[in-house]
A and B are shown apart, each in its own frame.
Chain A
Amino acid sequence: MELFILGCVIPIVLGVGVLSISRSKAASWIAAFGVWLGCGIAAVPVISALAGHVLAPLQIAWNMPGGSLSFGLDGLSAFFCLPILLISPLAALYGCTYLAHEKKPLGPASFFYNVLTASMLLLLAARNGLLFLVVWELMAVSSFFLVVFDDEKAHVRQAGWTYLIATHIGTAALLVLFAIMGRQANSLDFDLMAKAGFSPAMATALFVLAVIGFGAKAGFMPLHVWLPEAHPAAPSHVSALMSGVMIKTGIYGLLRILTLLGNPSAAWGWTLVVIGLVSGILGVAFALAQHDLKRLLAYHSVENIGIITLGIGAGLLGLAWHQPTLVVLGFGGGILHVLNHAIFKSLLFLGAGAVVHSTGTRDIDHLGGLIKSMRWTGVTFLVASAAISGLPPFNGFVSEFLIYFAAFSGVRAGAPETVVLTIGIAGGLALIGGLAAACFAKAFGIVFLGEPRSSHAAHAHEVGAAMRWPMVALAGACLGIGLLAPAAVKLVLPAVRVVAGDGAESSAESVATAMRSLTGIAYASAGLLLLVVGLFVIRRYLPRGREETATGTWDCGYARPTPRMQYTASSFAQPLTDLFRIFLGTRKRGASPAGFFPQPTTFETQTPDAAREYLFAPLFRLIDRSLAPIRRMQRGRIHEYLLYIAIVLVLLLLWKAGGRS
């Protein structure tokens, strides 16, 4: 345990250190070294915890009211550490090159990056409410500073504001949550909270607070508004860390609170399932409508959080219905998807970063043909695209398979509610999977394939080694988890045991069945790879020396095609976005050409976030307007001010004075 804390402290220390050499080029490298060192050290206890060793919790006195520096590392925490330990060092390395051309000092950014990493690790180990909240906010604040790195751009500042407000609203819910739990348990220590025994009504209230508080961080619809703003605004390696890892702390927090609340009711499970479905389907629908590459990826984070929540909701329902299979596989699938999403989403953001770095634009419709100039980026992005669409043989499929498996094995003809659940999960996942595949066909296809649509794309070049290798490593991890599916599930079981409690014990048989299926999948995936390679080799030898001819694309007889005539991202997604138009509220601007000699015309679509546009912005405006009259009380007249004092005095005297004796 001490080793783990040491691993958290090192990045911070080196981070503080580089603040003093802010302007030096070495700053980011030294800070990154701190991340590597810290994560390396912290990995030791994490691995041993995952291997089944029980680490002694660490208790240090802290004279803050209600606070204690208690740390622990159980299966759940250890598993959630994995993405951090994997992504954070890789993204840090990537960031060193990514930001190398920046003119502003890199010290602060490196410092906050290290603080973000350390605070996430500490958060997972925190076993006291006050400590948890402090680290939680530290994480939010440090990531905020990373988001506003490019603060000379107006949209970045706006994104920072949105993020800060959203995360703070979530934190407010958490403050109340922990205050209530502390009241019930008479302590803010998690151990004691777990024994507090909440009444069902109280527990439900706490659950709602947790969903709001942690959901704002995780990106549950409609609390997701900050994601599509903040992720595009942040530097790409930060987006990778935030989208891949940081939002998962919301999931962790929710799970951790669930372990403290006692027996869940079915309503909680349904709540999460519905949230999961809405986030998943609408998340991907919004992603389809975007043509900013990073914004698209941000919406996919919402979608994947939806998938994770589906799994957790299924697990909760399993607990409520006493169905061990549903419990273990639902939670297992959801939690495994946390790791999987961390890997492919950060890979995608790193890839997007490479594209931005090399072309200077994030607009998909201005890109094209990059795979020819950016081979490594292209291939790794392709791997991640397939993985995030849940396609075998990559990791995304494994976790989605577990959730399907949970849903299908939990279904009972006699219990209509299980059928409804399975319809929701299976139908929802299938739809989400199909739409995600469509979206990434668009993202990869338009960005990397075809011909460059602008000069930005035409002059692209491959990025440097420090940016390339993290992507390759992550792509390897995508494939590795896909091929070693059973091993990955073994990794997640300790975490599931923490969440599922007693439910985990009686499910050995269904776990064994799932394991057999996963083994089958692993073999099938390996077979698939072999088949592809084999067929490709055969295909290469088939022509037997006949020459390949290169020519233009079939143009249907039109002799002068230009790259601008290629299908664009917007047009590619248009049939699907039309299906969801009532939710998306896509705005179209422009006119179609008319007359015999049509003038040049433009057409543009824009899909702002519906929750922001139709929920939060009007709400904020309403509050603002209704508060405006109050400001009239301070209009500068001293007479009125004196009157206030007199009125208050008289009213109080009338109300209270001499009333009792």
Chain B
Amino acid sequence: MTLLLLTILLPAVAGTASYFIRPHRWRRLLWGTTAALHLALSVTAALPMNATPLDHWIGMDSLSAIFLVLTSLLFLGATVYGIGYVAREPVTGQLDFEDGSLFKNEPESIFTGAILLLLAAMTLAILSRHLALQWVAIEATTLASAPLIYYHQNRRSLEAAWKYLILCSVGIAVALLGIFFIRMTIQDSPHELTLATLLERASTLNHKWLSTAFIFMLVGYGTKMGLAPMHTWLPDAHSEAPSPVSAMLSGALLNCAFLGILRVQQICAAAGMASFGGDLLILFGLVSMGLAGVFILRQADYKRMLAYSSVEHMGILALGVGLGGLGLFGSLLHAVNHSIVKAMLFLTAGNILSRFHTKDTTKIQGVRDALPISGALWIAGFLAVTGSPPFGTFISEFTILRAVVDQGRWVVAALYVVFLLLAFVGMAGIVLRMALGRSEVNRVREPLTTVLSPLVFAVIAILLGVYLPGPLADKLHDAAQLLGGMAK
């Protein structure tokens, strides 16, 4: 228990502290240390011997263990990248390369503090077993990440942050309504709104309230998670945020909202309403995949393309969870794979952006020529995110397809495959056009901090495609079990 509390408090304290630390060097050191310590703490907490009882407000089951370690890992990667990133950013004003206006980054202390607080909020969101507490934490992630999005304080990032804040806040408010309704389901006696209580009394829950609650929470957390058509803020925010932040937003933060939905679905499944939520999730999943595919197809901005790809993958996750059974396992595995791959892609996109000074895909050629490592990572990431072997995404996407087919939902299967193809075709055109050919900028030696994290992520993505580590597999099976699915 203390371990879990420590995991939450560490980044919170460090985040608050970094607002007050003046010297850059110390603040960056604090950032790095916190990230590393957090990962160590998360892993330790996830070890079987440190299991905690699950009936408190916070606790760690397999589901949260997976997401926590994943988040922590991504954060460390983003930290390694991010420290180099903020160090390279000029402190004085600079010219915007798109509209030519002058802008000035926000102070580094705010950036560092916000990103550490974001980590704290995410950790809390993952670990909390009280639905309202989880809501508080998820809303807190929105608030902590808004300053990160407008780090550059130029017109586009402000616009993106505004839309992010408004849309997510509205969505989250809707989710709060949903939580009220969940509370109504156990109206008969004053119990705390913890998962333990709800699951224990699952059979007695009022289905009518539960279905209403599910709808509110699906729309609410779905907004935050980026399910279409509530995803509209996502491409703006993810494309305008600094790349390490985009990586965190896409790789980790979306998962937190996803976890919120998972928890409701867990309750629904325990209450025998798995198919009610499942059908809605499948619907939203398909809509997200399809819409994202459409927007990927003619995308002019490669970071937006990645953002839409996140929407697509959130759709896949929702679809898998909606299917239940094997789909749950596939979906959770896919969440892991997608986070790692997407983080790697956003970090790589950051490298491309800082070298080519444009986000316009039509103006970039020969990334592989100019930035050999980033170019290779860019193509590898494209293959990974579209689900090609040997990357783990292939395994999980195929597992979800098998789940669809196993249930004999032929229309869903057909749409699923068509939408995957759509995204593939769209991304192939863009990524290949960017990566191949001769570049107009000179080849440079890439600093280690810019390529280390994406490289490590790429290696992990490949490893997950050929080998599933035992503990991870166990946790995934366990988590799928929690959600009511049996994994084959």
- Chain A residues near B (Cβ < 8 Å): 63-67, 130, 133-138, 140-141, 148, 151-152, 154, 157, 160-161, 164-165, 168-169, 172, 175-176, 178-180, 182-183, 624, 627-628, 630-631, 633-634, 638, 640-642, 644-645, 648-649, 652-653, 656-661
Specify which of A135, A154, A175, A631 is in contact with B417 (CB 8 Å cutoff). Answer: A175
Contacts of A630 in B (CB 8 A): 291, 294
Known: A64-B468, A65-B330, A157-B433. A627 touches B297 (CB 8 A): yes
Q: Is the CB of A151 within 8 A of B437?
A: yes
Known: A133-B398, A160-B432, A183-B402. A172 touches B420 (CB 8 A): yes
**B399 close to chain A: CB less than 8 A:** yes
Q: Is the CB of B395 within 8 A of A642?
A: no
Specify which of A134, A182, A644 is in contact with B394 (CB 8 Å cutoff). Answer: A134
- Chain B residues near A (Cβ < 8 Å): 162-163, 166-167, 170-171, 174, 206-208, 211-212, 215-216, 218-219, 223, 229-230, 232-233, 235, 276, 280, 291, 294-295, 297-298, 326, 329-330, 333, 366, 368-369, 383, 386, 388-390, 394-395, 398-399, 401-402, 404-406, 408, 413, 417, 420-421, 424-425, 428-429, 432-433, 436-438, 465-468, 470, 473, 487-488
CA A161 to CA B383, docked complex, whole Å: 13
Shortest Cβ distance from residue A633 to the other chain B in the assembled complex, whole angstroms:
7
Shortest Cβ distance from residue A99 to the other chain B in the assembled complex, whole angstroms:
17
CA A182 to CA B404, docked complex, whole Å: 12
Total A-B residue contacts, Cβ distance less than 8 Å: 168
Q: Is the CB of A657 within 8 A of B211?
A: yes
Contacts of A140 in B (CB 8 A): 388
Shortest Cβ distance from residue A635 to the other chain B in the assembled complex, whole angstroms:
10
Shortest Cβ distance from residue B414 to the other chain A in the assembled complex, whole angstroms:
8
Q: Is the interface of A mostly helix, strand, loop or mixed?
A: helix
Shortest Cβ distance from residue B347 to the other chain A in the assembled complex, whole angstroms:
21
* Centre residue among B383, B389, B413, B487 by max chain A CB count within 10 A: B389
Q: Is the CB of B215 within 8 A of A653?
A: yes
Q: Is the CB of B219 within 8 A of A648?
A: yes
CA A152 to CA B408, docked complex, whole Å: 46
* Centre residue among B212, B232, B429, B467 by max chain A CB count within 10 A: B232
CA A661 to CA B210, docked complex, whole Å: 9
Write the chain B residue with the least CB distance to A139. B389
Contacts of B215 in A (CB 8 A): 649, 652-653, 656-657
Contacts of B424 in A (CB 8 A): 165, 168
Write the chain B residue with the least CB distance to A67. B395
Q: Is the CB of B473 within 8 A of A130?
A: no
Q: Is the CB of A659 within 8 A of B171?
A: no
Write the chain A residue with the least CB distance to B287. A648
Write the chain A residue with the least CB distance to B365. A157
CA A136 to CA B398, docked complex, whole Å: 14
Q: Is the CB of B167 within 8 A of A641?
A: yes
Contacts of A137 in B (CB 8 A): 388-390, 394
Q: Is the CB of A649 within 8 A of B219?
A: yes
24 A–B contacts from the bound complex (CB under 8 Å): A65-B326, A65-B488, A66-B399, A133-B389, A134-B395, A137-B394, A140-B388, A152-B438, A157-B436, A161-B428, A165-B425, A172-B420, A172-B421, A179-B398, A633-B229, A633-B232, A638-B162, A638-B166, A644-B232, A649-B215, A649-B219, A656-B280, A658-B211, A660-B207
Contacts of A160 in B (CB 8 A): 432, 436
Write the chain B residue with the least CB distance to A638. B163
Write the chain B residue with the least CB distance to A151. B436
CA A638 to CA B330, docked complex, whole Å: 34
* Centre residue among B223, B386, B470 by max chain A CB count within 10 A: B223
Q: Is the CB of A624 within 8 A of B298?
A: yes
Contacts of B417 in A (CB 8 A): 172, 175-176
CA A154 to CA B438, docked complex, whole Å: 10
Q: Is the CB of B383 within 8 A of A141?
A: yes
Specify which of B167, B438, B487 is in contact with A645 (CB 8 Å cutoff). Answer: B167
Q: Is the CB of A638 within 8 A of B211?
A: no
Known: A627-B297, A658-B212. A645 touches B389 (CB 8 A): no
CA A530 to CA B402, docked complex, whole Å: 61
Known: A164-B432, A660-B211. A175 touches B401 (CB 8 A): yes
CA A628 to CA B299, docked complex, whole Å: 11
CA A134 to CA B215, docked complex, whole Å: 38
Contacts of A628 in B (CB 8 A): 298
Specify which of B333, B413, B433 is in contact with A176 (CB 8 Å cutoff). Answer: B413
Shortest Cβ distance from residue B384 to the other chain A in the assembled complex, whole angstroms:
11
CA A141 to CA B380, docked complex, whole Å: 10
Q: Is the CB of A179 within 8 A of B401?
A: yes
Shortest Cβ distance from residue A348 to the other chain B in the assembled complex, whole angstroms:
28
Write the chain B residue with the least CB distance to A629. B294
CA A183 to CA B409, docked complex, whole Å: 12
CA A154 to CA B432, docked complex, whole Å: 11
Contacts of B295 in A (CB 8 A): 631, 634
Q: Is the CB of B223 within 8 A of A63?
A: no
Specify which of B368, B405, B470 is in contact with A179 (CB 8 Å cutoff). Answer: B405
- Inter-chain pairs besides A152-B437, A648-B229, 9 sampled, C-beta below 8 Å: A64-B395, A154-B437, A157-B432, A160-B436, A168-B388, A179-B401, A638-B162, A641-B232, A658-B212
Shortest Cβ distance from residue A125 to the other chain B in the assembled complex, whole angstroms:
16
Shortest Cβ distance from residue B277 to the other chain A in the assembled complex, whole angstroms:
10
Known: A164-B432, A648-B219. A183 touches B398 (CB 8 A): no
Contacts of A157 in B (CB 8 A): 432-433, 436-437
Contacts of A633 in B (CB 8 A): 229, 232, 291
CA A641 to CA B468, docked complex, whole Å: 40
Q: Is the CB of A165 within 8 A of B428?
A: yes
CA A633 to CA B291, docked complex, whole Å: 10
Contacts of A64 in B (CB 8 A): 395, 468
Q: Is the CB of B230 within 8 A of A645?
A: yes
Q: Which 9 pairs show the lowest CB-CB distances between chains A and B?
A: A661-B208, A151-B436, A641-B232, A179-B405, A137-B389, A134-B389, A657-B212, A644-B229, A179-B402
Specify which of A65, A154, A634, A652 is in contact with B280 (CB 8 Å cutoff). Answer: A652
Q: Is the CB of A134 within 8 A of B465?
A: yes
Q: Is the CB of B208 within 8 A of A652?
A: no
CA A169 to CA B424, docked complex, whole Å: 9
Shortest Cβ distance from residue B272 to the other chain A in the assembled complex, whole angstroms:
12
Q: Is the CB of B223 within 8 A of A141?
A: no
Q: Is the CB of A656 within 8 A of B211?
A: yes
CA A631 to CA B296, docked complex, whole Å: 10
Specify which of B171, B208, B216, B329 is in contact with A65 (CB 8 Å cutoff). Answer: B329
CA A508 to CA B470, docked complex, whole Å: 52
CA A231 to CA B216, docked complex, whole Å: 55
Contacts of B174 in A (CB 8 A): 645, 649
Q: Is the CB of A63 within 8 A of B473?
A: yes
CA A627 to CA B162, docked complex, whole Å: 28
Shortest Cβ distance from residue A147 to the other chain B in the assembled complex, whole angstroms:
11
Known: A164-B432, A660-B207. A130 touches B229 (CB 8 A): no
